[in-house]
C-alpha cells in the first residue's frame, strides 16, 4: 500500500499566481500561457487570498460585455475567496483523500499562510506511478 508521503516532496513549487489587484486579462493570459485551469491570487506578502479559475474569468468577460463598459476588472473581484488549502508538510494521502471527496483538481499549499506551492491531481498520480514502479522493481 502507498505509505504516507510528505506533500512538499511532490508539490509544484512555483504555482502560477497573480496579485489580487492584477487585471483579469493578465490572469487570462497566464492561464492560457501556462495551460492551467486556474491560478492562485496573492497579496503583496504572497499570502493566499483566493483562486481565479477559467470560469471566473469567463464570468468577468461576460459581465463586462453586459455592462458595456470595457473594463473587465481585477482578479480580486472575480476570484473564489474561501479556498481549501493544505499545509506544506501535510500528509499526501490525507490531502488526496480530501481532494477526491470534494472533487478538487488542485489545492494551494501554504506555509504559515504564505503561498509556497500547489498540489494537483497530476502530481498525485505521479506519486502513485512512482510507488508502483518501485514496487515492481523491488520484486
Domain tally, the chain: 1
pLDDT tens figures, 98-138:
999 999 888 999 999 899 999 988 888 888 787 777 767 77
Q: What is the value of pTM for the model shown?
A: 0.82
Host domain of residue 11: 7-138
Cell numbers found for residue 9: 516532496
**Cα dist from 46 to 20, 106, 117, 135, whole Å:** 10, 18, 11, 39
pLDDT tens figures, 78-107:
999 999 999 998 988 889 899 999 998 889
Greatest CA separation found in the chain?
A: 65
The answer to whether residue 2 is domain-embedded is no
CATH of the domain at 105: 3.10.580.10
The answer to whether residue 101 is domain-embedded is yes
3-state secondary structure of 135: helix
Amino acid at each position: 500500500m502507498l505509505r504516507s508521503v510528505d506533500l512538499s516532496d511532490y508539490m509544484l513549487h512555483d504555482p502560477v499566481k497573480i496579485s489580487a489587484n492584477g487585471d483579469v486579462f493578465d490572469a487570462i493570459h497566464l492561464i492560457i500561457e501556462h495551460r492551467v485551469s486556474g491560478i492562485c491570487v496573492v497579496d503583496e506578502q504572497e499570502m493566499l487570498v483566493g483562486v481565479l479559475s477559467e470560469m471566473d474569468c469567463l464570468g468577468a468577460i461576460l459581465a463586462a460585455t453586459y455592462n458595456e463598459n470595457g473594463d473587465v476588472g481585477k482578479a480580486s473581484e472575480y476570484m473564489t475567496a474561501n479556498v481549501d488549502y493544505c499545509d506544506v508538510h501535510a500528509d499526501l494521502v490525507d490531502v488526496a483523500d480530501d481532494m477526491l471527496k470534494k472533487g478538487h483538481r488542485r489545492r494551494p499549499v501554504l506555509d504559515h499562510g504564505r503561498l509556497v506551492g500547489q498540489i494537483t491531481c497530476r502530481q498525485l498520480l505521479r506519486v502513485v506511478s512512482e510507488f508502483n514502479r518501485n514496487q515492481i522493481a523491488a520484486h
